[in-house]
Amino acid sequence: MFPIGVLAEVYEKQGGEAFAITPVGSTAGILALERGMAALGMIARPLLPEEKARGLREIPIGHDVLVVVVHPSNPVNNLRKDDLRQIWEWRSAYWSEFGGPRIRTLPHGREYGSGAHAIWSEVIGTTNYALPISPDGSLIRQEVMIDRRAVGYVGLRHLRRGGVKAIRVEGMAHTDPAYPLKYHVSLVVGPKSPPAVWRFVRFVRSAEGQRIVAEEGLIPLGQEELTTPLEP
Partner 1 sequence: MMRAVLTAIALLVVGVVGGLIGLVLVKGLPGVSGSLLWSAAERLGEAGGLRPVLTSTVVIVGGAILLVVPIGLSAATWLQEYAPPSLWVEQVRRLIEALAGIPSVLYGLFGFSLFAVGLGWGWSHLTAMATLALMLLPMVIQTGAEALRTVPDELREGARALGATRWETVRYSLFPAAAPGIVTGVLLALGRALGESAAVLLTAGGDLRQPQSLLDQGRPLAAHLYHLTILDADPNRIWATAAVLVGLVLIVQLTASWLGARLQR
Partner 2 sequence: MLRAVTLGVAALVWLIGLDFLWEARPAMTALWGWDWRPALGRFGIPALIGGSLMVAGGAILVALPIGIGVALYLTEFAGPRRNRWLQRLLQVLAGMPSVVIGSLGWIYLVRAMGDRSDGLRLVITFGLLGLLILPTVATLGASALNALPPGYREGAIALGATRWQAVQRLLLPAARAGLFQATLLAFGRAIGETMIVLLTVRRDYAGFAYGMPAVQPVTSAIAMEIPTSVGIHRAALFGAGAVLLGLSLLMGAIARRFGRP
Among 9, 111, 122, 215, binds partner 2 (CB under 8 A): 111
Instruction: Please report how close the Cβ of residue 85 comes to partner 2 at its closest, in angstroms.
Output: 13
Taking the least distance from each CB to partner 1, the nearer of 21 and 87 is 21
Separation between Cα atoms, residue 161 and residue 120, nearest integer Å: 21
Q: Is 117 in the site for partner 2 (CB under 8 A)?
A: yes
Q: Are 230 and 59 in contact (CB under 8 A)?
A: yes
Separation between Cα atoms, residue 145 and residue 163, nearest integer Å: 5
Distances (CA, A) of 208 to 7, 213, 222: 10, 9, 14
Q: Is 230 in the site for partner 2 (CB under 8 A)?
A: no
211 binds, among partner 1, partner 2, none (CB under 5 to 8 A by kind): none
Among 6, 20, 37, 130, binds partner 2 (CB under 8 A): 130
Q: Are 70 and 167 in contact (CB under 8 A)?
A: yes
141 binds, among partner 2, partner 1, none (CB under 5 to 8 A by kind): partner 1
Start-to-end C-alpha separation, the chain: 26
> Would you tell me which residues interact with partner 1 (CB under 8 A)?
3, 5-6, 8-9, 12, 18, 20-22, 27-29, 31-32, 35, 37-38, 134-136, 138-139, 141-142, 161
Q: Are 190 and 55 in contact (CB under 8 A)?
A: yes
Q: Is 85 in the site for partner 2 (CB under 8 A)?
A: no
Handedness of CA 71, 78, 213, 185 (dihedral sign): negative
Q: Is 96 in the site for partner 2 (CB under 8 A)?
A: no
Separation between Cα atoms, residue 30 and residue 190, nearest integer Å: 9
Q: Is 105 in the site for partner 2 (CB under 8 A)?
A: no
Q: Is 46 in the site for partner 2 (CB under 8 A)?
A: no
Residue ranges that bind partner 2, judged by CB under 8 A: 23, 25-28, 90, 109, 111-114, 117, 121, 126-135, 142-143, 145-150
